[in-house]
Amino acid sequence: MASATESLERLKEGNQRFASNVRAPERPLDHDRRAELAKAQAPFAIILGCSDSRVPAELVFDQGLGDLFVIRVAGNIVAPSQVGSIEFAASRYGVRLVVVMGHSQCGAIEATIEEMKRPDGAQSRNLRSIVDRIRPWVQTLMETPLRHDHEALVAASVRANVRASVNHLKHASELLEDLIDHHGLLVVGAEYSLDTGVVEFFDEG
């Protein structure tokens, strides 16, 4: 079982390759790896990321079949089903690293800001459930001078939303709290740049 530190370094190295337009030369052929994984899986990291089509975790971190346990939801929000999925992977497979990854120009963040500036009641109940989870962090920022700079507001909101999700995971689950306190589980935030392909990690300690 890889430690959180080892797993984080593996992700960083993979993203460096991706951003540099190279791939790991030792990657096994998918059909060989598929046959191996039919018996069991052993992912080394859990990624809670956004559903945005431009941010597929396996590609962004240059990883292969079976390497990552990926949960994707618009706005990389944390709801009970996401917490349960992370609990499942961390406890069943011994994964010791959870990364909450947001990204630049996030559509869910944009939708939340638009809703707050021009509430019209047109959103479906299901879409609103996503916006409502992001709203508190955006609301705080909209009470600052950032409200006059849309691009800066979106950028700050992306990070605030990631940090809120990280904090939620650290404190909303007795199982995850125990793994953090006694078994080396690490939950960190990160942001992927659509422009550069680079993932910046934060909240590593």
pLDDT in tens, 102-152: 999 999 999 999 888 876 666 678 888 888 999 998 999 999 999 899 999
Band of pLDDT at residue 36, cut at 50, 70 and 90:
confident
Q: Which residue has the tokens 């990070």?
A: 159
Sign of CA dihedral 125, 127, 130, 133: negative
The CA distance from 180 to 11, in Å, is: 20
The CA distance from 112 to 115, in Å, is: 5
Band of pLDDT at residue 23, cut at 50, 70 and 90:
confident
**Residue ranges making up the domain that contains 71:** 4-202
Stated as kind and residue range, the H or E segment containing 98 is: strand 97-103
CATH assignment of the domain containing 54:
3.40.1050.10
pTM of the model: 0.93
The CA distance from 102 to 159, in Å, is: 7
Overall domain count for the chain: 1
